[in-house]
Amino acid sequence: MTSTSYNQRSISSIVARATKKDQERRPSIPSSSSSSSNKNDLDLDLDLKKGSLLLLRWSLYTTQKWDVPWSGKQTAITMFAWIASFVAVGASLAPLAAAALGAPNLGALSAQDKSLFLLVNQIVETAVGLSIVNATVSKYPKSEVPRDLLRVDFRRPFSFDQRAAVDSETTARDSKALDLDLDLDDDDGGRAGGGWLSWALVGIVASPVVIGAAATAAAALSDLSGGATSGGRGTADAVAGLLDASSGRVDVPTLVSLLIVTAVFAPILEETVFRGFLLPSLTKVMPVPAAIVVSAAGFATAHLSARDFPQLFAFGILLGFVYVRSRNLLSTMFIHGAWNGGVLLLLAVLASSGVDLEKLLAS
């Protein structure tokens, strides 16, 4: 009796082990509904193992549009209103400032007073510009406006994991196809993104390379055309004239005012208008890369400097690609502010060292 029971248990154990081994050897057959998802997961695993962090995954730069509810006509009206307000604020504040300081015009003011006027003017222009963009966006129900439009989010500054971004995008796309109303985690932004400070650092490192390459190409083209494209004033000329170092050092209040203007308020306004509003609006009527190029051209044109157009255009393209990936205006604001502030501080150091900035910039 005991022997028979023992043999039965042994046979059962052998059969169980054999069945388990057979199941392990037999390849699993994925269902048709999950085969595409499994392939994408495999591609992501390979990319992450290679350490690429999907930084070079071109599809994430080109396929994720903003489905804004307003038309191209409304986009044009908003941009025109912003341009008009920009001109109107400067035109109205200039005589008021001169009169308040007892000067016939702005040209008669001291460098410190001019820098203070620029600061006040930039603050007002920024407030008016943001209000115009907000007036357009707020006309539409919140449910119709993309959740990552004009996004400024300080959370997860170094979360550079693009797997979560791709998974979030896939979930959003599938839920829309199935007519589901899923409340996705705000941390993902519902789009490719995350790690706004990581993307900002990438842009800060890339800026000198991109702008330097554009400047070199523009100089070569100017030489080929006999210098026909090198005339005019650059964007740095206006502030360089205020960095008076005749006393051996740059006036600190003047430098602080200019830093706040160029490294804080100007990036906030320009990134909100060109990357936060114009670029997403353009993706409704054209591919993402084209929207990046067109918004970069508008950004460069708005500075009214033919001499610096190539560099500004290249910088705008860099900012556009960073924004498309980060989905967070903080990234481009930091890049923009770091570049402007770095250039201004460099000019201040050169001026304090006795360098003639006007001759330097003219050359």
Q: What is the mean pLDDT of residues 259-281?
A: 98
C-alpha of 223 from chain center: 33
Residues 54, 165: Cα–Cα separation, whole Å: 10
Predicted pLDDT at 32: 45
Predicted pLDDT at 175: 41
Pick from 28-37, 143-152, 245-254 the range whose average pLDDT is largest: 143-152
Return the higher-pLDDT residue of 183 and 192: 192
- Angle (CA) 200 202 205, round 5°: 105
Go through 199-232 and write b for each residue having 16 or more CB atoms within 10 A of its CB, e for each that does not.
bbbbbbeebeebbeebeeebeeebeeeeeebbee
- Over residues 43-57, the pLDDT tens digits come to 444 444 444 445 566
Among residues 317, 266, 282, 316, the alpha carbon closest in space to that of 129 is found at: 266
- Over residues 188-239, the pLDDT tens digits come to 433 456 689 999 999 999 999 999 999 999 989 877 876 655 567 788 888 8
Predicted pLDDT at 11: 52
Residues 20, 26: Cα–Cα separation, whole Å: 10
Q: Is 100 exposed, middle or buried (0-12, 13-18, 19+ CB in 10 A)?
A: exposed
Tokens of 199: 């993307």
Q: What percent of the chain has pLDDT over 70?
A: 70
Go through 51-66 and write b for each residue having 16 or more CB atoms within 10 A of its CB, e for each that does not.
eeebeebeebbeebbb
- Residue ranges per domain, the chain? 63-159+194-362
Among residues 76, 91, 189, the alpha carbon closest in space to that of 132 is found at: 76
- Over residues 88-107, the pLDDT tens digits come to 998 898 888 888 878 888 88
How far, CA to CA in Å, does 210 sit from each of 2, 301, 317, 355?
A: 84, 18, 9, 26
C-alpha of 181 from chain center: 29
Go through 167-194 and write b for each residue having 16 or more CB atoms within 10 A of its CB, e for each that does not.
bbbebbeeeeeeeeeeeeeeebbbbbbb
Residues 306, 304: Cα–Cα separation, whole Å: 6
Residues 330, 153: Cα–Cα separation, whole Å: 7
